[in-house]
């Protein structure tokens, strides 16, 4: 049996979930750009970059649900209610989220709120922070002979510091992109060392990815908490990766090193 995809051309989506990428407009898809430019209402998070926000037409209503006014962390129930109200208005609603909307973005909760009332939606995924962080340190997230899988994990979840497959993550050559890992850096370090990871394992902390204030901090598991304390803004920890030595062609790293 086939099911009609909510992304199909015949569906009439009221709400378009759009992944904005981590910051720079260079990381938007063409579909994301089209959706933003034709939106009547854009409901966005704090992590959406200024360059992307600048593409919202002046005629569109812009609702920031990530900042004071709506509160530093607008309760999810309020965001859901807002989405439903706007979704029922008949206008073109864009729900704009940083990175990929399907990675640590509470996408399901928002979709559930819409579908409970029969409101249509579609999803335009974006580049997740880990992809752009790896690109900006000149690295590949997977490599033949090094890692045959890639982990995307969160430093903390609803229960506190998140539990993970530490043993698997600690195996030599493994690569893990750790989101929301700043506060849990010491906990992560302890768990990894306890499960046999080498203290000299490379980790690169990339903060404010693809923004003018991007920071690239090369460190090791032994020095992780100290390195993380230098990050001024949202950061990804690329566990198992060091910036590539031949990085002269990457202007943003040159700036970070200057
Ligand atoms: N949907 C987003 C992730 C949201 S969870 C994505 O796919 O990238 C929030 C976490 O994402 C932050 O704590 C940080 O770890 C990471 N993050 C999001 N945007 C970032 C950015 N511009 N620079 C660095 N890290 C970022």
Q: Do domains 9-124 and 129-257 have the same CATH topology?
A: no
Please state the rounded mean pLDDT for residues 144-172.
94
- Catalytic member of 26, 67, 165, 213: 67
Atom of ligand 1 nearest to the CA of 127: 7
Q: Which atom of ligand 1 is nearest to the CA of 236?
A: 15
The rounded Å distance from CA 119 to ligand 1 centre is: 28
Active site residue 45: yes
Taking the C-alpha atoms of residue 58 and residue 151, their distance in angstroms, rounded to an integer, is 39
Distance CA 135, CA 39 (A): 30
> Is pLDDT above 70 for 253?
no
User: Tokens 């969160």 belong to which residue?
Assistant: 154
Mean pLDDT of the chain: 91
- In this model, does residue 178 exceed pLDDT 90? yes
233 C-alpha to ligand 1 centroid (Å): 10
From 33-37, 90-94, 155-159, 162-166, the region with the lowest mean pLDDT: 155-159
What are the DSSP calls for 154-214, one per residue?
A: ESEETTEEPP--HHHHHSTT-EEEEES-STTHHHHHHHHHHTT--TT-EEEEEESTTSTT-
**Whole-number pLDDT of residue 10:** 44
Q: 9 falls in which pLDDT band (50, 70, 90)?
A: very low
Ligand 1 close to Cβ of residue 209 (< 6 A): yes
Flag whether pLDDT at 5 surpasses 90: no
pLDDT above 80 (res 194): yes
Is any ligand 1 atom within 6 A of the Cβ of residue 66?
Answer: no
Residues 213 and 234: their CA atoms lie apart, in Å, by 11
Give the confidence band of 160 by pLDDT, cuts at 50, 70, 90. confident
Mutate-to-test residue for ligand 1 from 47, 154, 162, 252, highest number of ligand atoms within 8 A of CB: 47
Q: Domain residues of the chain, as ranges?
A: 9-124, 129-257
User: What is the Cα 6 distance to its own chain's centre?
Assistant: 23
Q: Please give the CATH topology (third level) of the domain spanning 9-124.
A: Cobalt-precorrin-4 Transmethylase; domain 1 (3.40.1010)
Mutation pick for ligand 1 pocket among 99, 124, 252 (CB with most ligand atoms within 8 Å): 99
| pLDDT tens digits, one per residue of 94-150 | 999 999 999 999 999 999 999 999 999 999 999 999 999 999 999 999 999 999 999
CATH code of the region 129-257? 3.30.950.10
* Predicted local distance difference test score (pLDDT) of residue 27: 97
Q: What is the pLDDT of residue 66?
A: 85
- State pLDDT tens for residues 222-242: 999 999 999 999 999 999 999
């Amino acid at each position: 049996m086939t099911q009609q995809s909510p992304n199909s051309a015949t569906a009439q989506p009221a709400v378009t979930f759009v992944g904005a990428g981590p910051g720079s407009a260079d990381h938007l898809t063409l579909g994301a750009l089209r959706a933003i430019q034709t939106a009547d209402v854009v409901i966005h998070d704090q992590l959406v970059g200024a360059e992307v926000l600048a593409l919202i037409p002046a005629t569109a209503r812009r609702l920031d649900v990530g900042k004071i006014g709506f509160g530093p962390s607008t309760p999810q129930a309020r965001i859901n209610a807002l989405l439903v109200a706007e979704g029922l208005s008949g206008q073109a609603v864009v729900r704009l989220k940083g990175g990929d909307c399907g990675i640590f973005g509470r996408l399901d909760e928002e979709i559930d709120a819409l579908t409970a009332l029969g409101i249509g939606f579609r999803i335009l995924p974006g580049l997740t922070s880990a992809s752009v962080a790896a690109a900006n340190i000149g690295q590949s997230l997977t490599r033949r002979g090094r890692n045959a899988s890639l982990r995307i994990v969160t430093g903390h979840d609803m229960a506190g510091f998140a539990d993970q497959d530490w043993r698997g993550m600690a195996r030599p050559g493994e690569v893990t992109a750790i989101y929301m890992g700043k506060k849990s850096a010491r906990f992560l370090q302890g768990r990894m060392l306890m499960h046999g990871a080498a203290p000299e394992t490379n980790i690169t902390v990339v903060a404010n990815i693809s923004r003018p204030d991007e920071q690239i901090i090369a460190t090791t598991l032994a020095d992780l908490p100290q390195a993380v304390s230098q990050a001024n803004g949202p950061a990804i920890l690329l566990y198992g990766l060091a910036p590539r030595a031949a990085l002269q062609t990457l202007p943003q790293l040159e700036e970070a090193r200057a």
